[in-house]
Amino acid sequence: MPELPEVETVRSGLAPSLTNATVDAIEVLDERSLKRHVGGVNDFISTLTGRTVLGVVRRGKFIWMPLAPKPGDPSDWKIALVGHLGMSGQMLLRNVGHAPDKLTRVIIHFTEADGLKTEFRFVDQRIFGSLAIDVLVPTADGKPGGFSDGVAAGTWWENLIPASAAHIARDPLDPDFAEKAVLTKLRSKNTGIKRALLDQNLLSGIGNIYADESLWATKLHYDQPASSISAAKAKELLEAVRGILAQAVKVGGTSFDEQYKNVNGESGYFEISLNAYGRKGTSCNRCGAEMVREEWANRGSHFCPRCQRLKR
């Protein structure tokens, strides 16, 4: 599943073209990609057509685009187009006339602010991702809803977030990430530390890849109880998470197959920097021991059995 670096790469790729772009028309090729839009296909099309996108925002793995009110309708709801990539979703930007992309589920035709015609194509192999229109609600802490390159500053939608994403905690790269509070909650959990890192209600954006990488960096076993970790070690772990996520963003995230691409259809390059994830059977880059993979929570955990011992 795309994690924070991949989703941020997509967000930053969409923003220059779609900020202040207007929706001209919509083609729904597979209704299943609108399964989270409560009004159905016709409502999605009628509500979105003619709208102007005001920005592209991200919190954790959610992307949303606040929409300008329709002209002459002062009672219009404060709404946004919300997207989630799920396991295999892609958000591609294509010029008009570009060759079809396989497994395209929805096409949104835009006119950019400079008049250029652009197609936004939502491609999804496994159809776990989705697009929907959702109401915007105030953030619980009264601070900006998510990351938007500063475009949101001073706008009516700066401190709003889609209702469907309001339960998601801030991610470690968010300027308003409350590190002290997160550390306190993290160390109060009796679950394994990896399970705690994947809890999107505690901190968002981290999935299997970057959890394994961060735990390797701090020599922690994935099943070490979070409550048994010292305050200093927990702080070291969060610093590692932040550094690894930031580095992955710089190189466009991690691509192991054709399922994750940026908005231009290109792969990310963080795979070459991985120290744990996907490295079963190779030598640990720190001590030389053979890396292993163990089944865990319907997925796998990659770690070094020598460097990352479980401490009872």
Among candidate residues 51, 61, 170, 194, the one labeled active-site is 61
User: Amino acid identity, residue 274?
Assistant: L
Among candidate residues 78, 126, 299, 309, the one labeled active-site is 299
| Token pair for 6 | 């991949």
User: Amino acid identity, residue 307?
Assistant: C
Among candidate residues 2, 66, 144, 162, the one labeled active-site is 2
Does 3 participate in catalysis according to the annotation?
yes
CB 181 within 8 Å of CB 174: no
Does 271 participate in catalysis according to the annotation?
no
Please state the length of the chain.
312
CA distance 184 to 309: 24
Taking Cα atoms as reference points, which of 206, 152, 151 lies closest to residue 177?
206
DSSP element (H, E) containing 224: none
* DSSP per-residue letters across 148-183: -TTTTTTSTTTTEEEGGGTTSPPPTTSTT--HHHHH
Does 299 participate in catalysis according to the annotation?
yes
Residue 142, number of CB atoms within 10 A of its CB: 8
Among candidate residues 3, 8, 119, 213, the one labeled active-site is 3
In the block, tokens 């990659």 appear at 302
Does 11 participate in catalysis according to the annotation?
no
CB 145 within 8 Å of CB 57: yes
Catalytic positions are 2-3, 61, 299
